[in-house]
Structure 1
Amino acid sequence: MNNFKFLLSLILAIIIITGCSYFNKLKEKLDYKNKKEITVQESKEPSYDDDIIFYNKYTDAINKLRESGEGVYKDYLRDIPVTSGINKNTLIIPVGLSLSVAGFERTLKEYKRSLFDSGELSKLKASEIMKNEVEPELKNLLNTMDEYYLIAKKVSDYYSDSEFKNDLSRIKPYDEEIKSAYVKYTEAVSRLSSALKKYKPKREKRDPDSFSNPDERSSELMIASYGDILDAAEEFYESFSKLKFKGNDNEALKYFREYERIFEQKKQNVLSAEFTEKTKFMKYNFEDYFSKTSDKFTASGNKFFSDYRNFKSEEVFKNKYNEVIVNYNYMVQSYNTSISSINSVMKIR
């Protein structure tokens, strides 16, 4: 009897020990799985770097969309005479307008697919507050540009196909439509730019001379120079974008002169600096590419301000204004390209 009790106790002990071991292992597996899931979830949270990437991609989108939209209006004003002077015998060759509208369609389609059809913009991560404020403004801009494009295409076809010769009654309404669409488009661009500007990453300024490695020193010099130039350009743009026909141009002119001063100062710094074989391309790129886009921007700006007080009509003002904006956008695009090339080669930031 005692042997039986002992045997029964032994069996129960084995069962208990085995069961505990099994449950401990099961618990460990569950804990590991939960920990793994938590780690994966945490890795999906947007980081500061995600915000920077989001900001840069949206900045690039704004620049390209603005370039397309401004180009259409610029070519409309250039190719189509003042409406009051058009008759059925007027020679109109709107080649520039037709090309701009076609380019506008391609750019618009590219960014609509990117945002609405699982493209690059739709996959960007950012902090919730940033994404919730900026992304709806881009959607609004794209929808506004849709309307702008349809009107611009209609107007372009009207003149390209010489329909105006058979029906002059649409000249004035079409002129009013495209100008109204342009105003709505510029307002949408302004709202998006203002929303995005709130989240502009603070530029980290580092002294190039603090780097002992010559390649790093050259790279930091270039990044700092480009950054100072762009800061001055953005100050100018913010003021210039508020300028109206027959308004006061003193503030915009002041920021424009400051841009010229900063650019020349940084240009001299770059051209007088030493570069190794690895980094010489940075100097050449600045001299042969970026500087040329800046020169075109300043040339159009100087022409604008020298003629500003003598503009006879708002159409002339807008035409010259748009020339400055287009050249400004080219300069900003060359800045983005230059910075990307430096970072991709040096991988320092």
Structure 2
Amino acid sequence: MDADVAIVGVGTMGSMAAWQLAKAGISVIGFEQFGIGNDRTAAGGESRLFRTAYMEGKEYVPLLFEAKNLWRELEAETDRELLTLNGGLTIGDPDTDVMQSLLKSIHEFELDHEILQGKEATERFPQHRLFSEEIMVLDKNAGFLRPELAVVSAIERAESLGADIKRYTTVQGVYPGKNGVTIVANDKEFHFGKVLITTGAWTWKLLPRLRDQLIARRLVLTWFAPKNVEEFQPDKFPVFARMRKGYRLTGAPTLDGTMVKASNTKNPDTVPEPDNLNRDVSIEELQEVGEAVEKLLPGLTPNPVRASVYMDAYTEDDHSIVGTLPGMDNTFLISGFSGHGFKMSPVIGKIAADLITEGETKHSIGHLDPYRYANA
């Protein structure tokens, strides 16, 4: 065998799995069709939000706290700052389903938070225009991550622990069997005991049976010039998610001292072929997010000064797939994080390493079970 484990795709999740497997003393070869920390899929855009008060479901909260610990561990091992906790605001009508889900996660796990409304909210965070029916929920264990640097750091650490990462190497086929897995990459055969597939938006191209379950979607991220940049520094402007009517506006403070990230991430378009991602941003898309910013963040000039396009794999229920694949021996899949996976990537990498080496994990991941798609 060439190694104990192959990882196909060493972006967000693959990099963290490589780090954890190498740390456990497992021989690993990772295959990446692009460079490490590339901007072709879900890990670009300068920042990603970290939140623990979680509108996507309270079952994620324990995973997020473990992820926070592992982010700190990776920082310590690489001597790099990857996670900045400057707080996080979720703003919306408290009677909506997403806000109710957020509040349930707070109350069940007794999360450190504040609920602000009316004059108190607008005086504390005047950057946001608050409407009478809305509240602000401040998550004190929230902030932002540096995605490109995080992926690079995890891979450099994995390599220092013995992992072999093959950059610019395209996997053409994965052929599992009872005695191991054969992989063909750049027209060469490799043999492994097990394989972990972490290919994001490209997953269905290796696993056509999941084409209808894992849908690639196009994410447009935008940045705006602040009228007063001091109001949008990290110590004054927490990361945020804002739900209002046709918008799901998310963003982060200025990290370069010139631009503030604010993006409309509601209902992203599908990407029929990930190799042909449309990276152009239309005038209509720019106008739509500009209108949202004008209404909700009056301290920003409402014309995007920067726009970038990324993509992620989405599932129908917005919960990812983590575990072994039915009918495919020695094959593990991590995919379908539906636009909210980066923050938890270190714990997902640890879970993958546990499943591969021990056959089980201490973490509760029933909601991510691949067998919900057993008939695919």
RCO (CA 8 Å, sep 6+): is it higher in 1 or 2? Answer: 2
| Greater fraction of residues in strand | 2
TM above 0.5, yes or no, is: no
TM-score, reference length from structure 2: 0.31
Structure whose residues are more often helix by fraction: 1
**Structure-1-length-normalised TM-score:** 0.32
